[in-house]
Structure 1
């Protein structure tokens, strides 16, 4: 195959449906988006892998939200990897590009640079937050960290919080194509079935780790058989088929699910994007008094702020900040 296939499918999410099984899904390929997220930070390899996994999950999950909405993943724990945060900004109109950003915080002194990444998050939670815009109360769903990977946490979240059987097959890492520099690539498939059977009462618990619900607790009968069959087919996927770049997502779907009658919809392009701005920094500091702002002021007489997502650097006149500001922002030098 030529590089045209690579160019056509990099940084896209392709929705599809398996008509025979009544299962929907997405195929995602991240190239420039992921490389931009990771190359602007000097994360250790073990942290890079976690951020790559979280960004890929965000692309797959975020594609389902409506125009102008924002979906965020937050993973927090008490281990050396303290926070992984991602945002998916839905397109502002049909046909526009969606935007993704991601960031992680870790304790370099406690981190085991050669150890498994997920274990170093420790005890904590996996959360999905949905911002539907001004005038709407944001939705937040939380599930404990479990299952040994971020994708397993996402599967548990959908089973426990949404009663939606969900599964993922992901691959990510550094790759080097001929006549090009080494860069990050990621690819994955997400399957999701709408449950038609009743689910157990909360008091009964589920078959997942810690009594959490799992897919088999939600689906039974024909729906359960369809789900098992589709996931068996997904388990045959090879790493290079997921990550590309020479296997088009449409070809991958035919290879995996041709007996399930796959049907594809319009692909969604994604790119790196950050919503930070001077005004948003000011808003975040508006709760502080002049005394508090004074403690933030440098010896040079300015207040500085750096965006953890994109690295943007901001400098402010302290007199323009906080609820006791004495100068208007436009007077800020």
Structure 2
């Protein structure tokens, strides 16, 4: 297999359906997009691991939902890792890539080396927020943190909040391809039972449960290297796992790193403040600065142009 064919499936989400089992799913590969998310921060390894898992979940869940703007994951806890936040921005036009970004907030001094990363989130909640854009009320679903991973939390969310049996198989970490530098690679498969018709007969419900159980047993056979590639392409992986379930694939969706921050948005966020408030934010060298938590962009602004009393208000 050529390097070109390997790279063709990096940073993509491939939707599919198992026609025999009435199950839908996604195969995701994140490579450059994930590397760009993590390279903007100096995260300890255990925090990088949590962010990588959250990004992969976000890419698959975001592509599942018919979005007009943004889907976000928010994981909050009372442990050393206080917050993991991700955003998936839907494509703005046909053929355009989706965009993903993420960041983590943590107490470096409280992190415990050698302790499972998920355990360092502590007690808290897992939330999915769907924002369909201006004039629309965002939807938010929340479940308590449970299980032993963010993946367990995502499965519990769909079971409890959406009543949709859902399963994920993920693999992620730093790897090296021949002739390339070490960088992050991640891959995964998402299975989701399609909504059942109300009033289904008991025998039909039993058959659907058998289909779901069989698909899960097949997914259990997947190997980590098959998930992250690059030697096994997503369509080939589906045939390896589910050939008897008649997998049918749809158009893949490209996923790139991308941030929505801008100087205009910074100015808008400061437009509610008075000149006196702006003065308290002004640095000794006479500027107001702001940094984007997601991408690290740094903005330096003239305080005279800020706030509702400034020229930019």
Superposition TM-score tier, normalisation by shorter sequence: over 0.9
Aligned residues of 1:253 and 1:262 also touching (Cα < 8 A): yes
CA–CA distance in 1 between the matches of 2:276 and 2:149? 44
Tell me which residue corresponds to 1:191.
191
Aligned residues of 2:49 and 2:117 also touching (Cα < 8 A): yes
CA–CA distance in 2 between the matches of 1:292 and 1:220? 62
Q: CA deviation at 1:174?
A: 0.2
Q: Following superposition of structure 1 onto structure 2, how do residues 124-143 of structure 1 map, counting pairs within 5 Å? A: 124-143=124-143
Q: CA deviation at 1:155?
A: 0.7
**Correspondent of 1:253 among 220, 233, 238:** 238
Tell me which residue corresponds to 2:123.
123
Q: Following superposition of structure 1 onto structure 2, how do residues 40-189 of structure 1 map, counting pairs within 5 Å? A: 40-66=40-66, 68-189=68-189
Q: CA deviation at 1:115?
A: 1.4
Aligned residues of 1:69 and 1:132 also touching (Cα < 8 A): yes
Q: CA deviation at 1:68?
A: 3.4
Tell me which residue corresponds to 2:31.
31
Tell me which residue corresponds to 1:296.
281
For residues 154-202 of structure 1, what are the alpha-carbon distances to aligned partners after superposition, in whole Å with 9 as ceiling and x for unaligned? Answer: 1111111111111100000000011110000000000001242779xxx
Tell me which residue corresponds to 1:243.
228
CA–CA distance in 2 between the matches of 1:294 and 1:156? 47
Q: CA deviation at 1:279?
A: 1.2
Tell me which residue corresponds to 2:311.
327
Aligned residues of 1:304 and 1:313 also touching (Cα < 8 A): yes
Aligned residues of 1:44 and 1:113 also touching (Cα < 8 A): no
The gaps in structure 1 that reach 5 residues or longer are 200-218
| 2:263 equivalent to 1:278 | yes
CA–CA distance in 2 between the matches of 1:68 and 1:113? 41
Q: CA deviation at 1:225?
A: 0.9
Q: CA deviation at 1:287?
A: 2.8
Q: CA deviation at 1:124?
A: 0.8
| 2:300 equivalent to 1:315 | yes
For residues 27-84 of structure 1, what are the alpha-carbon distances to aligned partners after superposition, in whole Å with 9 as ceiling and x for unaligned? Answer: 0000000010111211000000000000000110111233532111111111100110
CA–CA distance in 1 between the matches of 2:195 and 2:65? 19
| 2:222 equivalent to 1:233 | no
Q: CA deviation at 1:141?
A: 0.7
Q: Secondary structure at the match of 1:269?
A: strand
For residues 3-39 of structure 1, what are the alpha-carbon distances to aligned partners after superposition, in whole Å with 9 as ceiling and x for unaligned? Answer: 1221110000000000010000000000000010111
CA–CA distance in 2 between the matches of 1:322 and 1:76? 31
Q: Secondary structure at the match of 2:168?
A: strand
CA–CA distance in 1 between the matches of 2:208 and 2:33? 36
For residues 116-162 of structure 1, what are the alpha-carbon distances to aligned partners after superposition, in whole Å with 9 as ceiling and x for unaligned? Answer: 11111111111111111111111111111111111111111111111
Q: CA deviation at 1:296?
A: 1.5
CA–CA distance in 2 between the matches of 1:138 and 1:25? 25
Q: TM-score, normalised by structure 1?
A: 0.90
Tell me which residue corresponds to 2:254.
269
The gaps in structure 2 that reach 5 residues or longer are none
Q: Per the alignment, do residues 144 and 220 of structure 1 end up closer, same or farther by CA in structure 2, a change over 3 Å counting? A: farther
Tell me which residue corresponds to 1:204.
none
